[in-house]
Amino acid sequence: MNELLRSYGRGLTGLFVGLTIVWLAVLVIVPQAMMLEQSLWSKERGSEISLRIDRAYTELETAKFDLAGDLAPDKKAELEDAVSRLEAEIAELEAQEQDPPKVYGLQNYTKMSGLHFNIFVKTIAYAALVTLLALVVCYPIAYAVAHLSTPRKAALLLLGLTIPYAINELLRVYAWLMILDYQGVINSFLAAIGFVSFEAKTWVPFLEYSGSVFVAMIYAYILFMVFPIYNTLETLDRNQIEAAKDLGGSIWLTHRRVVIPHAKPGIAVGCIMTFMLSAGSYAVPQIMTRGKSGDWFSQLIYRQFFESFNWNVGAAYSFTLLIACIVFIFLMMAIFKVGIRDIAK
Amino acid sequence: MHGKNVELSEAVMRFGDFTAVHRSNLEIEAGEFFSILGPSGCGKTTILRMISGFIEPSEGRILIGGEDMRGRGPNNRPTALIFQNLALFPLMTVWENVAFGLEARGVDKAARRKRAEELLALVDLAGQGGKKPTELSGGQRQRVAVARALAVEPSVLLLDEPLSALDLKLRQHMRSELREIQRKTGVTFVFITHDQGEALTMSDRVAVMNQGRVEQIGSADEIYLNPRTPFVATFVGQQNVFRGKVAGLDEGLAQVETSLGRFLGINGDGLGVGDDAMVFVRPERLGLVGRNGGAAPGNQLEAEVEGRELEGPFINMFLNAQGLPLTMHVTNSAEMPAQLAGRQKVGFRSEDALVLRAGDLADE
């Protein structure tokens, strides 16, 4: 703080600090707090209350019908009393039905249906699998770019990896849809060589396999895995790899004992980023499954917010996903024995 | 000596259009401490990498223990390399570093640990195995690197300027230490350096390289006393150089006509009259005429004293002979006047001067 004051003076420091506070408050704390509050209450709009309203209406109708007949004055007064009492009750119940009272508690979190819980578990498992596959694909790429090629080749390779990211994510995913569709690139090729027939609908239904979502996701998020690993691998002294080789180390031993330990922080960061992105991905499963199956938890959250208009459950689901991601971060840090400091590097 | 251990036979190394090592032949005896000395970029590291197997020669062969090494990678050669920056594995403990080569050979953990401790004891690091390399001093890290390389029981240990990162005191200490380890183990050491002091004090034999060529191979004495090329003469130790033409010959001596007069010296290249020649005289062989008693030397010239530097046992005198800078070492004895100034007559004996065919000198 003092250093900031010394370097930038009172005015600019005030501006920096002020902007940071405004950013934190307006864009992080307030909306998150509102969401958290939303997730912690619900309005019980049970079927019981409408039943009671229905019953009250029936009683009211009966009382009104009875009133229409000839009655003793005392009986009549009693009935009129009943009618006004019922009308008051109905008004109260209807007001309650219109705006049920808030009930605070963890019910939004705990009352997840079996189906939704299944989807949640599947999403986490799939995201973990996507992360693992991306790691398997990206580690060799990052290693090759960092250590096998000349600087010129490395620059070209990195450029080749970056160019697809200049294209909108949706277009990148649609490209995979084109490739894997029933009458897409692969099936057209298979049809051309007589393997499948469009008329007989014997195409390979790639889009119905979960593999298609994986492929598109790995492609969509590969850079987030490649760059952190590449950055750490680049700082590895080439001599260490040569030393390991000179001492008789096989490729496997060299990677296990020398390269991977060095790349750990990068691998942890890459895994965290890929996992968070794929666990929270909405566009990729939506496009690849054409919104026909609610396979991904993010799609479920979307539907809670914008189709069921149940913001409370939506918020609770969002926080559940967030908590899962935070748990994953700590898990990665524990597995790779890296601290926040290493990751920040 | 048990015969040849490492042999370069007509080896050439090219990188694209650039020839890093011209056709070279080199024979290194088993159990020898062999140094390759040369300025940076002379190709010495390339030779080392060819021997260790990181690169294959473009032409010619590398033999180790009589076996052709072509096609065998660094992990399949009986060599171990100590890198300039040591390349210790920073995330492993010291003993794991030392035992890495054994791990690669599938030795079980208990045996690895035991062998690592033995090797650490050999390099005076007993009990330090549990530390991380970063917790050790520069000299200790050096010894860990040596122990790690020795663990694979190489027949040749290749050292790529491993002392260059150390400070002067430690460097001198490590010289004798390395020499001692070499004597104890009997492993052939091939030591790359640009520091002539290291090469001369440690080695059994030295190869001096320049611009991809081995200029001379010999013992430290031979290299220093009988350099065969102007480059070797000026790269190893200091020299005063007089350029001229051979004017006459006399029983192994050559008389050279220079701008400062005629000088007589040993005809090292078998020169004939009229050849372009250089006369080399070491600063310690140059003396003040008439100071040391005895007969006046055959070659004399006059020079202006320009400065002096006290080295301790001797004094560096800087002279100027008609524009040609000369250096003279004067013994720091009681007879020497503390201040020597003005015009002085200096000289050298003809047997202390070497005449060689004119050629490239080492850059100062």
Mean pLDDT of chain A: 86
B87, A240: Cβ pair inside 8 Å?
yes
B161: domain CATH number?
A: 3.40.50.300
Which of B32, B33, B28, B26 is CA-nearest to residue B12? B26
Q: What CATH number is attached to the domain comprising B338?
A: 2.40.50.100
Helix (H) or strand (E) holding B223: helix B220-225
Chosen for mutation from B55, B91, B159 (greatest number of chain A CBs closer than 10 Å) is B91
Q: What is the predicted pLDDT for the residue at A236? A: 93
Partners of B54 on chain A (C-beta within 8 Å) are: 242, 246
Residues spanned by the domain of B142: 4-230
Average pLDDT over residues B275-303: 82
In this structure, what token pair is assigned to residue B256?
């050279």
Q: What is the pLDDT of residue B57?
A: 93
Longest Cα–Cα distance in chain B: 75
Domain boundary among B207, B230, B253: B230
* Domain span including residue A88: 46-100
Cross-chain residue pair B105–A248, CB shorter than 8 Å:
yes
From A244's Cα to the closest Cα of chain B, the distance in A is 8
In a domain, A56, yes or no: yes
Which residues in chain A have their CB less than 8 angstroms from residue B104's CB?
Answer: 244, 247-250, 253
Q: What are phi and psi of A242, to 5 degrees?
A: -65, -40
Confidence band, pLDDT 50/70/90 cuts, at residue B234: very high
| Backbone φ and ψ of B138, nearest 5° | -55, -45
Which residue from B minimizes the CA distance to A258?
A: B89
For B87, which of A243, A257, A261 is closest by C-beta distance? A243
pLDDT over threshold 60, residue B270: yes
Model confidence over B62-100: pLDDT tens digits? 999 888 999 898 988 999 999 989 999 999 999 999 999
* A262/B81 Cβ within 8 A: no
Question: Which chain B residues touch A250 with a CB distance below 8 Å?
Answer: 75, 104
CA B136 vs CA A79, A91, A238, A313, B118: distances in Å: 100, 85, 22, 58, 18
Does residue B150 share a domain with residue B67?
A: yes
DSSP sequence for A173-241:
HHHHHHHHSTTSHHHHHHHHTTS--TTTT----GGGSHHHHHHHHHHHHHHHHHHHHHHHHHTS-HHHH
Cβ–Cβ gap A243/B81 under 8 Å? yes
The verdict on B83 touching A (C-beta cutoff 8 Å) is yes
Q: Which of A288, A41, A91 is nearest to A176 (CA)?
A: A288
pLDDT of B294: 53
As a whole number, the mean pLDDT across chain B is 89
Same domain? For A251 and A340 the reply is yes
Same domain, A55 and A186: no
Q: Tell me what ipTM this predicted complex has.
A: 0.81
Name the range with the highest mean pLDDT among A36-40, A87-91, A128-132, A190-194.
A128-132
B58 and B194 housed in the same domain: yes
Do B282 and B173 share a domain, yes or no?
Answer: no
What Cα–Cα distance (Å) separates residue A31 from each residue in A19, A24, A36, A107, B241?
17, 10, 8, 21, 83
Going across the sheet that includes B33-37, the strands are B79-82, B156-160, B188-193, B33-37, B205-210, B213-218
Cross-chain CB nearest to A248 (options B52, B75, B89): B75
Q: Is B109 on the interface with A (CB under 8 A)?
A: no
Restricting to B residues 89-108, those with a Cβ less than 8 Å away from any Cβ of A are 89, 91-92, 100-101, 103-105
pLDDT number for residue B1:
42
**pLDDT, mean of residues B287-302:** 74
B75 touches chain A (CB under 8 A): yes
Residue B245's H or E segment, with its range, is strand B240-250
Residue B251 belongs to some domain of the structure: yes
